[in-house]
Structure 1
């Protein structure tokens, strides 16, 4: 049964009328996408279940099929191997979600030292002070040249060639003094 649309003069169809030929192609595309969805939905669901949180699986599958349906300007049915396209889309989507998830976790990150400084375990503090005291004692027992080279490197931030130039010795000699200093500190800390 035909009726006249008074606003723009178009002719419409009643519910039981057959589709006109210009709409056959659209209906065929929709049916093809639905068939691809029915065929590949279980595989994509399994794929995402192994790689994503359960609450995200449905959304991820839906997003992949949404991208598929809009592929090639709405001509997704022209894709020769839809399974390959869907798998590639699924992998790319997971990568996008991982990047977004990483950004969300970075935003929520809070440094342990900032907020929890007052919550130091007294036993840990005593042990740290003891280790520091033993390291200081070991440094004070080093020969004056070894101690000075160690302090120049570790506290002044000078590199071995700079220390060698300042002290008028070779870089190998600086390395030797640093090795002695580090070994003494390691022994003092009880890590021998």
Structure 2
């Protein structure tokens, strides 16, 4: 193909040559936004996972990128630091959701007045207290080591290996003591 225009003597496009698409520039922007999405999607997903309910994470990430793509009259692809821009947008979106959520919960708020005070069945309360007393009694009857291991796990939140290290015993021994404690509590709860 000859790029010289024979009429003017300069390089150019010949009259019969096809022209580039009119949205050539738009296509470049779309590719840049897609590259930004691919690069920053995991970062935004982690950001929202730490701050929002799991079921909302995908929607929030999508909303941030939707706003990004339509920002600045379609010139968002030209942002120099898209990461900072996206994180700022994510923070603003979380603030919006928090305000909307607060309004939603305020509308659904139900104060506990006199009409709700009689809603709890006294029989259920008495049964729950009885079960709790029986469990406390069963725990108090455990051997001191079994009781201490049970309380360390259930109330202090220590894991079996941590308890084993503190007590200087094996993890299997901790498991054995926990099995004894749980069986005693189950037996006590089963007695009526």
Q: With structure 2 as the length reference, what TM-score do the two structures score? A: 0.51
> Structure 1 pair 120/26, CA: closer, same or farther in 2 (3 Å)?
closer
CA deviations over 1:119-155 (Å, ceiling 9, x no partner): 4898xxxxxxxxxxxxxxxxxxxxxxxxxxxxxxxxx
Please list every run of 5 or more consecutive structure 2 residues that lacks an aligned counterpart in the other structure: 1-17, 123-192
Q: Distance in 1 between matches of 2:94 and 2:84?
A: 15
SS at match of 2:80: coil
Q: What are the ranges of 5 or more consecutive residues in structure 1 without an aligned counterpart?
A: 1-17, 123-192
In the other structure, the counterpart of 2:52 is: 52
Aligned partners of 1:121 and 1:70: how far apart in 2?
A: 56
**Equivalent residue, structure 2, for 1:113:** 113
| TM-score, normalised with respect to structure 1 | 0.51
CA distance in 2, matches of 1:69, 1:55: 23
Deviation at 1:115, TM superposition (A): 3.4
* CA gap 1:114/1:58 in 2 versus in 1, 3 angstroms: farther
**Aligned partners of 2:45, 2:120: CA distance in 1, in Å?**
47
The Cα shift of 1:118 comes to 3.4
What is the distance in 1 between the residues matched to 2:54 and 2:19? 41
Partners in 2 of 1:26 and 1:62 — Cα distance?
21
How far does residue 77 in structure 1 lie from its aligned partner after superposition?
A: 1.2
Tell me the CA shift for residue 20 of structure 1: 1.9
**Offset from partner CA, 1:38-77 (integer Å, 9 cap, x none):** 0000000000000000100000000000000011011111
Q: Provide the C-alpha distance between the structure 2 equivalents of 1:19 and 1:99, rounded to a whole number of angstroms.
A: 51
Q: 1:19 to 1:28 in 2, by over 3 A?
A: farther
Q: Please name the residue that 1:75 is paired with.
A: 75
CA distance in 2, matches of 1:116, 1:86: 46
| Structural mapping, 1:86-105, within 5 Å | 86-105=86-105
Per the alignment, residue 30 of structure 1 pairs with: 30
Which protein is bigger by CA-based radius of gyration?
1
**Count of aligned pairs between the two proteins:** 105
Shift of 1:114: 4.9
| Root-mean-square deviation over aligned CA pairs | 2.0
Measure how far apart 1:22 and its partner are: 2.6
Q: Quickly say closer, same or farther: Cα 1:121–1:23, change in 2 above 3 A.
A: closer
